[in-house]
Structure 1
Amino acid sequence: MATSFSPKILTNIFLVLVVTAAMYAAKATDHKETKLSFYLHDIAAFGDPKATTIPVAGIAGKAWTFTQFGTVYVVDDNITKTPDPKSPKVAQFQGLYVTAALDGLRAFATASILFTNEEYNRSTIQIQGTNQDPDTEVAVVGGTGKFRFARGYATSKIYFLDTATQHSVVQLNVTVQTS
C-alpha cells in the first residue's frame, strides 16, 4: 500500500529543507575578517652576530647569496608595531626563504608569524608564496589559536633598506578570515 502525502505536508517539508540549507549557507560564509599591519626587522649581514636571516644550504661551489638559485635561508625576524625597532614587539617571523628562480630574482617563502603580544599571544598565522619585488603578495594558508582556520593574504613592501649593512625594515599587511 503506497503512502501519499498531502500537498500541504510536501510544501512544509520543502520549506524546512530550504530554511535549513539557507542556515548552513549563512554559517559557511559567516567569517570574521582581521586586518593587521606591522614591521619586520631583517638583518642579513652574514657574519653579523645580530643576523636574523642566514644561509644554511646552497649549490656546492657556488656563493650562497640572495641571487643564487637554490640558496636556502633560515629567518627569525622581530616584528614590531611601528618601523622603529624600539617600538613594541608584537611577533616573530620564523621560517625559510629559498631562492627559487633560475635568474635569482624571486624567492619562495614559508613562515609562521608567532604572536607574542597580549591580544594574540601564542596564536600564529602561516604564510606561503613567492616574492614579486618591490611589492609582494603571498597566501595565508592557515593559523592557530585566535587565527585557527585562517585564510587570506599578506602583502609586503620594503619600508627601509640599508644595502651597506644589509638591514631592512619591511612593512607587512595581513588580511585574514577566520570562522
Structure 2
Amino acid sequence: MALTRASKVCLLLLMTMFIFSSAEVGQLKETNMTFYLHEWSVDLNFTAVTTATNVTNATAIPVTGIPGFPWTLTTFGTMFCADDPITVGFDKTSAQIGRAQGIFVTSALDGSSTHVSASIVFTNATYNGSTIEIQGASHNYQSVNEVAVVGGTGIFRYARGYATFQTVYQNKANWYAVAKCNVTVLHY
C-alpha cells in the first residue's frame, strides 16, 4: 500500500517532533554511589503482643503478619516497615547522607525472599531532597542482593539502574546490621 502525500507529511511531522523532543531531554548521566545502611531490628520472635519497649530504637519493624505465627523475615506474609539511616562510611557515626524508607514483605512461601519497595531519600548538601526509588526481590540467603532502580526525583529524575546490598556487619545480640549499598543509575 503506497503512502499518500498527506500521510507522508504527517509521518515527517511526527518524526520531526520525536527528534526535537528527544533532543530537549538531554544526555543521560551515569552516577555511581557507595554508602552504608544501618538497621536496628526487633527480636525475631516479635508478635503483635510484644511490648512496645522492643521497638523503641528500632529502624525496621514488622507491622503485620499471619495471626498466631511469629512475624519474622522468613515467615510468609510478614510485612516490615523501615526508616534506616544511610551514612557515607561503615561506622554509624560517619556523616549521614539520607534515609532508606519503605516496606518489605516476605513474599516466598518458603521464606526465601522478600519483596522490597523503598525510597532512598537524600538529605546531604549534594543531593538534598532527591530520591532514588528501588524495587525487587531480595533473596534472604544470598550474600549480595540486587534490586532495580525504577525511578527517582530531583537530581535523579527518570532514574533507572540497579542497586546491590551486602550485609557487611551483623550483631544478633542487639539486632543491629550494616549493609553496603552500591548504586548505579542513569538519569538526566
Settle same-fold status: TM greater than 0.5.
yes
How far apart, CA to CA, are the structure 2 residues paired with 1:120 and 1:29? Answer: 20
Indicate if the aligned counterparts of 2:132 and 2:151 stay in contact, CA closer than 8 A: yes
Deviation at residue 73 of structure 1 after TM alignment = 0.3
* Structure whose alpha-carbon radius of gyration is higher: 1
Hey, what does 2:160 align to over in structure 1?
151
Query: 1:93-114 CA distances to partner (integer Å, 9 max, x unpaired)?
Result: 0000101111111111000000
Deviation at residue 45 of structure 1 after TM alignment = 2.3
Query: 1:144-178 CA distances to partner (integer Å, 9 max, x unpaired)?
Result: 00000000000110110112221000000100001
The structure 2 residue matched to 1:176, chosen from 162, 182, 185, is 185
Counterpart residue type for residue 175 of structure 1? T
The structure 2 residue matched to 1:34, chosen from 31, 36, 60, is 31
Normalized against structure 1, the TM-score is what?
0.84
Counterpart residue type for residue 32 of structure 1? K
Deviation at residue 26 of structure 1 after TM alignment = 8.2
Hey, what does 2:109 align to over in structure 1?
102
* Deviation beyond 4 Å, 4+ runs, structure 1: 23-29
How far apart, CA to CA, are the structure 1 residues paired with 2:123 and 2:164? Answer: 21
Q: How does 1:36-55 map to 2 (within 5 A)?
A: 36-46=33-43, 47-55=54-62
Hey, what does 1:114 align to over in structure 2?
121
Deviation at residue 68 of structure 1 after TM alignment = 0.4
SS at match of 1:131: strand
How far apart, CA to CA, are the structure 1 residues paired with 2:81 and 2:55? Answer: 15
Counterpart residue type for residue 99 of structure 1? T
Hey, what does 2:169 align to over in structure 1?
160
Deviation at residue 77 of structure 1 after TM alignment = 0.2
The structure 2 residue matched to 1:131, chosen from 134, 138, 141, is 138
Indicate if the aligned counterparts of 1:45 and 1:167 stay in contact, CA closer than 8 A: no
Counterpart residue type for residue 178 of structure 1? H
Counterpart residue type for residue 40 of structure 2? I
Normalized against structure 2, the TM-score is what?
0.80
How far apart, CA to CA, are the structure 2 residues paired with 1:113 and 1:105? Answer: 24
Number of corresponding residues: 163
Identity of aligned residues (%): 46
Counterpart residue type for residue 160 of structure 1? Y
